[in-house]
Structure 1
Amino acid sequence: MSPVLARGPDLEAFVRRDGEGGGRLELLVAGARCAACIRKIEAAVDALPGVAGARLNLTTGKLAVDLTGPDARPDVIMETVEALGYRASLFDPAQAVAAQDQEGRELAVALGVAGFGAGNVMMFTVPAWAGLFGQELNASTLTLMYWMAAIVATPCALFAGRPFFRSAWTSLWRGKANMDVPISIGVILTLAVSFSETLLHGRHAYFDAAVTLLFLLLIGRYLDHRLRASARSAARDLLALQAPVALRLHHGVESGVPVAQVRVGDRLAVPPGQRIPVDGQVEAGVSDIDNALITGETALTAVGPGARLHAGALNLTGRLVMVASARSEDSTLAAIARLMEAGAQSRSAYVRLADKAAALYVPIVHAAAALTFVGAWALGLGPREALLRAAAVLIVTCPCALGLAAPAVQIAASARLFRKGVLVKSGAALERLAEVDHVVLDKTGVLTEGRPRLVDAPAHLVALAAPLARASRHPLALALAREAGLGLVAQACVETAGQGVEGLIQGRRARLGRAAFVGVEQAQGAETELWFGFEGDLKIRFTFEDAPRADAVQAVADLRALGLTVEILSGDLAGPVSRIAAALGVVDWRAGLTPFDKVEAIDTLKARNRKVLMVGDGLNDAAALARAQASMAPGAAVDAAQNAADLVFTGEGLAAVATAIGVARSARARALQNFAFSAAYNLLAMPAAMAGLVNPFIAALAMSGSSMVVLLNALRPGWRR
């Protein structure tokens, strides 16, 4: 249970104070879903007296507020957050996880209850439909069947409809009407009219329609929640790369402290094999750093005193002493995670379109129903008949077809892509993918195979160097060892950070590494070569390449055939990037980019009104994947990249990218056709119901028929197969 909070001085007990009068307050904020929420909350708290800074993390829900002195009022901070419409409590990690999972569990349970109700209510409504085929039940049996249907459907509909009812009430309380308002009114009114008809021994009730509609709509609502949960999972995967403990140096003594307690200016020790805990600079020591998180490339970076270090990078060969330049929540990793969260929490364009339609639908349809009731009563009809005519107006115009217009198409298109090896993580992804006009491709792992491969080396020379290669963890040495296969390992090996490895092979001293380290003078070093040689003997040069995917040229041609422009953004050096761009015929390319550079490039393209599809596979691509209009990742990509991407494609080829765009464009056309049909249907059905030409039973059939037309149109692209 969450702690009971008191306003005023009691909250001061939960502020962690330092020796200089400052402090930190950590709150759990519930209800924040997007980048706009982050900006609104942080700006409001930053403006309070005594607040040095505020940082909200969507993944954990934690709002960390730095306080500068006695002017800061923790109770005022909490009240400010709650005044913005969010719930705030003291931060508890276990409570934060529980709060994130609660919505998903509620939607899953509601979906299960609605499915149970929709299936079981048919046991009683199908016999009632028998009258359509000349086997009509007698009046008492028909009434019994409706009462049994009411017993099953009513509690299921009221329970499963809670997410829609809450959303509708919140929207109306703010003076607006979203799509959940007509859905909620339609469900409640359908139940009310059904009870009225059952009590009055009428011929038709509609309990099955109410619960079935909720079941179909909850499918889409639950899938949307899973998309948001996937974005949070991607951010958690990224933050998990941050070392949980840092070795702080104080007067020469090392002590382990939680990384959250590291402050700017702290001296930290980083042994070989450990990840860099926070951003900082090297004070002493030399080593090789695996910066794949930042550059996405396998080439190691040699660092020494003064070099900049990024949180999450892997220290491989030497012990480093560094000075922290940022706290853990301000590190490079945390910044990338925030970009991923903010980019992924976007609403569906079709949902926004449906909400705009609802803003017009609600006042028009409900005013028409009210006028129908008053007019029918004034013309001499009794209150029951007038109510049934008004109910027919609401039932026949119930936004079932409008609510299913996009989800039905998205489900059908997702199934088609699944058969082609493409996993679609949300319907909104297809909407955005259909609009792209520019494709940004990462190099390593997307256009290339993603691992270095030895080029044209005789087997006997490979065998000579293999014992030293097996003793190193350098990516190029691993490629050399992989080519040689299993075998002996050199003895007395010593690896020099940033240079290479030295050891004894059958009693002879040998070296493997950079040209200068091996003793080759005036050689032009390259990032894709290794030198090997025995002491006092000839030196051997091994070259490596990251080979392009077999269908990369055809994939780029297919994208251009769809009218798209193509660009390469890579963290690799300019040489390899220029070569792959020339091989593919791509004119626009950029090299040496950090994750933030890639995000900035995406933002620049978006500012020019370009709709960008990003295809990447590395941790350094995760933020850009979340930032782009749409994003794809191969099945071999790291977990964070797959979670940040909208679509994941299997296999070794890139043909799935163009295929997915083609299917998405077809789905967009079907969705727009469904919206047009829904509008035309309502324009024709409403006047007929107002004129009394449509009774509630016919209205229910027409409503179901409109939904069926929408579903069949969604399935139409797959009929040819």
Structure 2
Amino acid sequence: MAAQQDLSVFVRHGEGGVAGMELAVEGIRCAGCMHAIENGLSKDAAILKARVNLALKRVTVEWREGALRPEAVIERLGALGFKAYPFLPSAERDSVTVEERRLLRYLAVAGFAAMNIMLLSVSVWSGANGDISPVTRDFFHWLSALIALPTAAYAGRPFFESALRALRAGAVNMDVPITLGIVLALGMSVVETANHSDHAYFDGAVMLIFFLLIGRYLDQMMRRRTRDLAGNLAALKAETATRLMPDGTTVTLPIAAIAPGDLVLVQPGERVCVDGIVETGHSEIDRSLVTGETDPAPIGAGAQVHAGTMNLTGALGVRVVAAGAGTLLDEIERLMSQAVESRSRYVRLSDRAARLYAPLVHATALATLVGWIAFGLAWQEALIIAITVLIITCPCALGLAIPAVQVVTASALFRRQVMLKEGDALERLAEADVVVFDKTGTLTLPEPDLLNVETIDASSLAAAGALAAASRHPLAQAISRAAGLPAPLPGAQERRGLGLSALVDGIEMRLGSPAFCEAQALAERVSTEHPTASLIAWRHGDRAIVFAVGQKLRPEAQACVEALARLGLAPMILSGDRDSAVAAVARELGITQWRSGLRPDEKLHVLDDLAAQGRKVLMVGDGLNDAPALAKAHVSISPISATHLAQAAADIVFLGDSLAPVAETIAIARKARTLMMENLWFAVLYNAVAVPIAVAGFATPLVAAAAMSGSSLVVTLNALRAARQPAAPLAQAGS
């Protein structure tokens, strides 16, 4: 009796009572397979969505919680003729390696057999003028059959198995006509040999398999490279965490057993295993995953840390906010997966075209056979031409034309810390001709920062930072961050409405309003230099400082705006902030079109006006009030620091503090659109040229196999160009 499977651990539980699972599926070859799987699964009323990724050979299935057992999805795929299992990165790498080795074995057998049969065929051809007796000729033909038939049965398995799976499921994929062509060529050769004919095509059939296997093997390698380019975040995920118990002991537990509110220990040299807040310890963190900044950042009590970042120097006690599911790393991985699964309108177009392939190519081959016989050609020669038609027509180029570009482009964007949420976001982004920015949290950093840090001596900043660390006020936290997040000053007391105070070396130290710190005159001088900043003063005895705290521009904001202008996009600012603050940012960035004090509905009116003028608006925003505008715009981008509602409304999300990804993403999107169109046109032109040549009898099955395999490789190799950096607009800005 077979053991009962329990796949509930692989189920992803989403919002709104939707459950889902990602499956690795064997035998997905072409758009016909995609159509068979998606149609077959969608017939089950319990399944809400089934999405196939051809390049990654994965299927994502969603259903209502409780409406379906996850095991039933795999059973349903089995009934459709596809073996499936829960996707695991390590298992995928193993299966890819096994498949490549398997294809290499088949290729070696087919190549060795083809060489031997060709030697026998050469002997027959050289004796065609009568130097070889009919008995010897028949012997060489039967000897060729003895080599060719077992070779085809073994080396042709990738095509035969795939075709049988499709036929059992009542579908037709690209391997059905290939299998039909091979079987017809071998069957005709056996019949011709039995009838003592001069012609047999064992050499052609085996060479056909050999060339098809070369194409399949190279295609497998290209797909693996494409998958590798998509990035693998699994290595950043911790499998276990060390929980700190109330009695001071530690226990190592699976990450699934860690709950929000737990206190975990992160040792130096370990990756942070959870999202949380540091409670004890000081260290340096490599936050390049989140911010893109490779320099280690000092971190201490009160600082936020994310799963996947690296703890470098000191032990940290971290209070868990999220572990496993719900972490920033989990969200990044989800967005990355969504990016390569989403369908664009170009993908839907190529899918429809590829689905027409099977009935069309079979009808064309049959018409070719009947037509040539009607014109008086021998049935053997007419059948060879029909076999060539079956083989040369290639839906793979159409099926791969767009998904391959999407996967490689998603990877290129991921390396630049950009995540796509919608399949057609790249196409819409490539069409954008005007960029509308929100100001607060978008052009500026979301957290206030110290604006006059260069005028403050290090010892005073350290002292003020230690006192500021005792407060959770945003302005005090800005000073604490600028000082490197020192430990809070012992004995610090909060004076309601005034600030903080503590006794240091017998003298009271204060941090708060200029009046509380008796620094009004100094505050007036600082205010003239930073008119839009908030002022907070510090005094210890005779020493006094006034800090200007405000929102700094995001790194590379100036270069980004200049790059957008060179790309032909007019920048604008639409902000709800006060006039003076928006004017200062617009002036600093050189943006001439800006409006301030706008409500969310007023931003929508501006976007409507731009759309009425025929403009394609890219909206870049991060706040709750930006969500309607992000949803309304032609295409939208949000930073990862955005509110959840803004992220949900945006088509694209970028990580880190730098604004550089906005301009870079547009340049990459335009290049991706060009590659998509190139691939589509190549696939269409290939079939438009190749099929008439085959129907006219100017190609052989051998040539057809080489051409069919080559067309798939061409579109895949062209897609890989998306991984190369296009003209770097920011680099040009600095030149």
Contact 1:373 1:386 in 2 (8 A): yes
Is 1:433–2:426 an aligned residue pair?
yes
The offset of 1:391, in angstroms, is 1.4
Quick one: which amino acid aligns to residue 213 of structure 2? Answer: V
Q: Give CA-to-partner distance per residue, 1:130-178, whole Å, 9 cap, x none.
A: 99xxxx98889x9999x9999899979966974x766655554444445
Is 1:479–2:479 an aligned residue pair?
no
Aligned partner of 1:604 in structure 2 is: 631
Quick one: which amino acid aligns to residue 357 of structure 1? Answer: A
> Is the partner of 1:540 in helix, strand or coil?
strand
Q: Distance in 2 between matches of 1:667 and 1:270?
A: 47
Q: Give CA-to-partner distance per residue, 1:172-209, whole Å, 9 cap, x none.
A: 44444455655666677788889999995559723343
Change (3 A) 1:707 1:30: closer
Contact 1:296 1:444 in 2 (8 A): no
Q: Give CA-to-partner distance per residue, 1:549-583, whole Å, 9 cap, x none.
A: 14122123245x25x8878999x999988965674
Quick one: which amino acid aligns to residue 365 of structure 1? Answer: V
Change (3 A) 1:703 1:41: closer
Is 1:657–2:659 an aligned residue pair?
no
Contact 1:278 1:311 in 2 (8 A): yes
Is 1:221–2:223 an aligned residue pair?
yes
* 1:5 aligned to which of 3, 8, 13: 3
Quick one: which amino acid aligns to residue 604 of structure 1? Answer: A
Contact 2:493 2:501 in 1 (8 A): yes
> Is the partner of 2:224 in helix, strand or coil?
helix
Q: Distance in 1 between matches of 2:586 and 2:555?
A: 10
Aligned partner of 2:352 in structure 1 is: 356
> Is the partner of 2:388 in helix, strand or coil?
helix
Change (3 A) 1:708 1:202: same
Change (3 A) 1:277 1:175: same
State the TM-score, normalizing by the size of structure 2: 0.55
Contact 1:157 1:214 in 2 (8 A): no
Q: Give CA-to-partner distance per residue, 1:30-57, whole Å, 9 cap, x none.
A: 45999x99x98999499xxxxxxxxxxx
Quick one: which amino acid aligns to residue 479 of structure 1? Answer: A
User: Where do residues 328-367 of structure 1 align in structure 2 (5 Å cutoff)?
Assistant: 341-342=337-338, 344-347=340-343, 352-367=348-363
Q: Distance in 2 between matches of 1:122 and 1:427?
A: 47
Is 1:464–2:460 an aligned residue pair?
yes
Aligned partner of 2:733 in structure 1 is: none
> Is the partner of 2:538 in helix, strand or coil?
strand
Contact 2:560 2:662 in 1 (8 A): yes
* 1:533 aligned to which of 539, 545, 548: 539
State the TM-score, normalizing by the size of structure 1: 0.56
Change (3 A) 1:391 1:156: closer
Aligned partner of 1:551 in structure 2 is: 559
Change (3 A) 1:495 1:368: farther
Contact 1:213 1:400 in 2 (8 A): no
Is 1:394–2:390 an aligned residue pair?
yes
Q: Distance in 2 between matches of 1:270 and 1:98?
A: 27
Quick one: which amino acid aligns to residue 368 of structure 1? Answer: T
Q: Distance in 2 between matches of 1:392 and 1:667?
A: 29
Quick one: which amino acid aligns to residue 656 of structure 1? Answer: E
Instruction: Structure 1: state its 5+ residue gaps.
Output: 16-25, 47-58, 88-92, 281-289, 304-308, 483-488, 638-648
The offset of 1:296, in angstroms, is 8.8
Change (3 A) 1:328 1:138: same
Contact 1:602 1:628 in 2 (8 A): no
User: Where do residues 193-272 of structure 1 align in structure 2 (5 Å cutoff)?
Assistant: 205=204, 206-207=207-208, 208-223=210-225, 225-226=227-228, 230=231, 233-234=232-233, 244=241, 260=256
Contact 2:622 2:643 in 1 (8 A): no
Quick one: which amino acid aligns to residue 5 of structure 1? Answer: A
Is 1:385–2:381 an aligned residue pair?
yes
Q: Distance in 2 between matches of 1:669 and 1:695?
A: 30
Contact 1:455 1:542 in 2 (8 A): yes
The offset of 1:428, in angstroms, is 13
Change (3 A) 1:668 1:150: farther
Q: Distance in 1 between matches of 2:501 and 2:720?
A: 61
Q: Distance in 2 between matches of 1:699 and 1:710?
A: 17
Contact 1:244 1:259 in 2 (8 A): yes
Q: Distance in 1 between matches of 2:444 and 2:113?
A: 55
Contact 1:130 1:137 in 2 (8 A): yes
Q: Distance in 2 between matches of 1:477 and 1:370?
A: 79
Change (3 A) 1:278 1:669: closer
The offset of 1:345, in angstroms, is 2.7
Quick one: which amino acid aligns to residue 358 of structure 1? Answer: A
Aligned partner of 2:366 in structure 1 is: 370
Q: Distance in 1 between matches of 2:251 and 2:307?
A: 20
Number of paired residues? 613
Contact 2:336 2:420 in 1 (8 A): no
The offset of 1:534, in angstroms, is 0.6
* 2:679 aligned to which of 671, 676, 679: 671
The offset of 1:670, in angstroms, is 1.8
